Amino acid sequence: MVTTVMYALYQQYEDFVNTTSLFAASVTAGIDLLPEPARSSLPVRALRANAELVRHTRLTHARPDFEIDSVEVAGEAVPVTTTVVDATPFCSLVRFAKETTLPQPKVLLVAPMSGHFATLLRETVRTLSRDNDVYITDWHNARDIPLGAGPFGLDHYVEHLMRFIERLGDPVHVVAVCQPCVPALAAASLLAQSKSPAQPRTLTLMAGPIDTRINPCKVNEFATSQPISWFERNLIATVPRRHLGSGRRVYPGFVQISAFMSMNLDRHMKAHLELWGNMVREEDEAAHAKRHFYDEYYAVSDLPAEYYLETVRRVFQEYELARGQFRVHGQPVTPSAMRRTALLTVEGERDDICSVGQTMAAHDLCTRVQPARRAHHLQAGVGHYGVFSGSRWDGEIYPTVKNFILAND
């Protein structure tokens, strides 16, 4: 059972691992001081690889940097500056401002609150920024948010999106990745219902659980395997006193990353063995790519307990949006009210987190969007992460997203 005691025990483990990592770093630094040919001998390279694995194979709650200093615009490298244009205790609205006079569509990229930081969408941002003025929802780590900031549930997530959309103003395009497809569709629907002038020009939903009754996968089966009381009893912890969010109830990031890794344990073990081999053979480029991925993957963020439990219950157990039962602070959400917002859905053929058909279901709800202003893209050969990162995203999916935004700007 995940309790306050278990979180405290995890904290002791994290402290120990951090100390071990510092020792491994000192081993690496010592090896770098060795003269040749000793430094390049096979035993020493193997020792260095072992130390590097120890140093990097650890969880951290530190938010990585987006590492986007420039992007290519019209064939030229253009500097990028990240600025916070709006903020609440739970989220910062970050803009990737470019030094260019070319007019570009405003895009709000909605990042998932699912145990990782928004920097997981680094490649998504970098690609979108070539042709768009990009903003992203940079969700804060719940264990660093004081209790005085109040609770944060699924309705609060929708409110945040509506606030940010209205803050950016018309014209704005919304791109939601994974879990926030549900609150993004809800936000766009509520703006349409209120006839807000800030209704987004387009809404792109990428690999999100609009209707998880369709082709249920392991994630969906797990969510429905127990009553919501089981999730609250076994997966919710209280933040220890040493953190700013002391006393806040959270779904810990270390639990989420454990669940993700257990789903594909063989693949992760193989990747770490390959990383070790890359380092021993001094294949620097391949080693850097794998190490960089896992540095990001192991950076975890705690979720507010209210948000996690409500998402499990309302999205994965009760299918509220798909069944026409979704409400935000008591107000019914009616996707059929959307008329001005064009709709694009994107799915990955091999997605084992959000199955084919679950995102496309949005078209069945948005019945008043004209056929000429809606589209669906099924990407062959990619899993969940391939929908928003990697070569297929950059070369095949993004052109569809780009053209859809331009056609409806």
With a pLDDT cut of 70, the percent of the chain lying above it is 87
> Can you tell me the mean pLDDT for 270-278?
72
Report the pLDDT value the prediction gives residue 61, as an integer from 0 to 100: 75
Q: With 90 as the cut, is the pLDDT of residue 287 above it?
A: no
H/E element, 114: none
> Can you tell me the mean pLDDT for 380-394?
95
Report the pLDDT value the prediction gives residue 32, as an integer from 0 to 100: 76
**Rounded Cα distance, 213 and 292, in Å:** 35
Least confident of 164-173, 237-246, 394-403: 237-246
Q: Give the residue with greater pLDDT, 363 vs 285.
A: 363
DSSP result, 170-198: SS-EEEEESTTHHHHHHHHHHHHHTT-TT
**Rounded Cα distance, 141 and 147, in Å:** 13
* Residue recorded with tokens 């929908």: 387
Length of the chain: 409
Asked whether the bond before 146 is cis by omega within 30 degrees of 0, the reply is: no
Residue of 256, 235, 248 whose CA lies nearest to 299: 256
Report the pLDDT value the prediction gives residue 82, as an integer from 0 to 100: 97
**Rounded Cα distance, 271 and 291, in Å:** 10
Report the pLDDT value the prediction gives residue 94, as an integer from 0 to 100: 98
**Rounded Cα distance, 330 and 195, in Å:** 18
Q: Give the residue with greater pLDDT, 19 vs 378.
A: 378
334-353 pLDDT tens trace:
999 999 999 999 999 999 99
Q: Give the residue with greater pLDDT, 5 vs 150.
A: 150
Q: CA dihedral in degrees (348, 352, 354, 360; nearest 10)?
A: 40
Q: Give the residue with greater pLDDT, 157 vs 26.
A: 157
**Rounded Cα distance, 31 and 29, in Å:** 5
206-222 pLDDT tens trace:
999 999 999 999 889 99
Beta carbons within 8 Å of 362's beta carbon, 6+ residues apart: 181, 185, 205, 210, 335, 343, 345
**Rounded Cα distance, 353 and 36, in Å:** 48
**Rounded Cα distance, 348 and 376, in Å:** 11
SS (H, E, C) 258-306: HHHHHHCHHHHHHHHHHHHHHHHCCCHHHHHHHHHHHHHHCEECCEEHH
Overall pTM surpassing 0.95 (yes/no): no
17-38 pLDDT tens trace:
566 666 656 767 777 777 888 7
pLDDT category of residue 1 using cuts at 50, 70 and 90: very low
With a pLDDT cut of 90, the percent of the chain lying above it is 66
H/E element, 333: none
Query: Looking at the DSSP assignment, which residues form a beta bridge with residue 95?
Result: 83, 135
> Can you tell me the mean pLDDT for 366-370?
97
Beta carbons within 8 Å of 217's beta carbon, 6+ residues apart: 351, 352, 353, 354, 355
> Can you tell me the mean pLDDT for 227-249?
92
Report the pLDDT value the prediction gives residue 402, as an integer from 0 to 100: 98
**Rounded Cα distance, 174 and 302, in Å:** 25
For the chain, list the domains and their CATH numbers.
4-58+253-297 (no CATH), 70-223+303-407 (3.40.50.1820)
Report the pLDDT value the prediction gives residue 297, as an integer from 0 to 100: 72
Q: With 90 as the cut, is the pLDDT of residue 269 above it?
A: no
174-200 pLDDT tens trace:
999 999 999 999 999 999 999 999 999
Q: With 50 as the cut, is the pLDDT of residue 2 above it?
A: no
Report the pLDDT value the prediction gives residue 399, as an integer from 0 to 100: 98
Burial class from Cβ neighbours inside 10 Å (0-12, 13-18, 19+) for residue 10 reads middle
Q: Give the residue with greater pLDDT, 60 vs 231.
A: 231
DSSP-based three-state secondary structure for 362: helix
Report the pLDDT value the prediction gives residue 147, as an integer from 0 to 100: 96
